[in-house]
Amino acid sequence: MAIEYDTESTRLTPAFASEDPSGYKASLLNKHGAIDGGRLGMVYEKVLASGMLKVENIVIDPSTPRCKIVDGAGGFQLTLGVLDIEEQERQTMIFEHERFTGEDGIVYKFNHELSHFIIGFLSEISDDFNSLYRLTFDSRSKGRGGFHMKGNQPKYKNQNKPFVYESREDIVELVNMYLLEPDYLKRFLDFLVDPASAQVRASGHLATLSRRQADHFFNTIDTAVKEWLRS
Ligand SMILES: [Zn+2]
């Protein structure tokens, strides 16, 4: 599938999304696709090529900051709420949150939703990647904390499946960070290791990793994504 990416895309404002949702969507795909010399465009096209997501099933919702994926009769529908996540929530949910407002916030959210599909592909091709999920689940179920604050959001708590959605959300977010910028994931993993950040981690219910574990997480995601992109 050939998609032309344009770095000079129109500003992605909530007003634009209300007036012209399809124009907004095209601009968002351009902007997302152009990041880092087209690397994210490749990722997006690969998700489309899998048939799991159709471009017409990406829906722009100008009335909310929330995003969701729903499995319906016409396949998965990805709804992208374009409003900024409230600052207080952003602080508790996103690492280096001050960077992710406006257009960068939208790209972040869109890529997060894409990552929900991508973790499925990575699990299929990499046992090592699957083991990251188990490590996360173990850590959460033993009370040692999550591997990202995203999974700590109350909406992922489910009495019937304790720690399942929380752990999945952690892994989705780690993959999202890597895809956005590998160094961004590295900085976050450094934060999980850094003794000086122990207090912040404890109050945020986050796990502490050894240097070796952090490197293992990074290398496993790096290898699995590269392998998936080659496949
Ligand atoms: Zn999610």
Residue 2 located in a structural domain = no
CA of 172 to the centre of ligand 1 (A): 6
In the chain, pLDDT over 70 holds for what percent of residues? 96
Residue 62 located in a structural domain = yes
C-alpha neighbours within 13 Å on the C-beta side of residue 86: 3
* Amino acid letter for position 194: D
* Amino acid letter for position 172: V
pLDDT digits (tens, 9 = 90+) for 194-209: 999 999 999 999 999 9
Q: What is the mean pLDDT of residues 42-53?
A: 96
Strands 58-61 and 75-81: parallel
Residue 108 located in a structural domain = yes
CA of 113 to the centre of ligand 1 (A): 6
Top mean pLDDT of 8-17, 99-108, 213-222 is at: 213-222
Residue 87 located in a structural domain = yes
Evaluate if residue 54 carries a pLDDT over 90: yes
CA of 2 to the centre of ligand 1 (A): 28
Distance from C-alpha of 94 to C-alpha of 2, rounded to nearest angstrom: 32
The angle formed by the CA atoms of residues 173, 106 and 136, to the nearest 5 degrees, is 5
The SS3 of residue 61 is strand
Residue 6 located in a structural domain = no
Residue 68 located in a structural domain = yes
Evaluate if residue 7 carries a pLDDT over 70: no
pLDDT level of residue 10 (50, 70, 90 thresholds): low
- pLDDT attached to residue 98: 93
- Beta bridge partners, 81, equal 61
b/e burial code for range 140-179 (CB count within 10 A of at least 16 → b):
beeeebbbbbbbbeeebeeeeeebeebbbbbbbbbbbbbb
- Beta bridge partners, 188, equal none
Residue 3 located in a structural domain = no
Strand order in the sheet with 75-81: 58-61, 75-81, 67-72
- pLDDT attached to residue 154: 86
CA of 33 to the centre of ligand 1 (A): 20
Count structural domains, the chain.
1
CA of 36 to the centre of ligand 1 (A): 23
Residue 64 located in a structural domain = yes
Q: Who contacts 127 (Cβ-Cβ below 8 Å, separation ≥6)? A: none
Provide the domain limits for residue 189.
14-230
Helices (H), 52-163: 87-93, 102-125, 127-141
- pLDDT attached to residue 229: 95
pLDDT digits (tens, 9 = 90+) for 139-163: 999 999 999 999 988 888 888 888 9
- pLDDT attached to residue 1: 40
Q: What is the mean pLDDT of residues 113-118?
A: 97
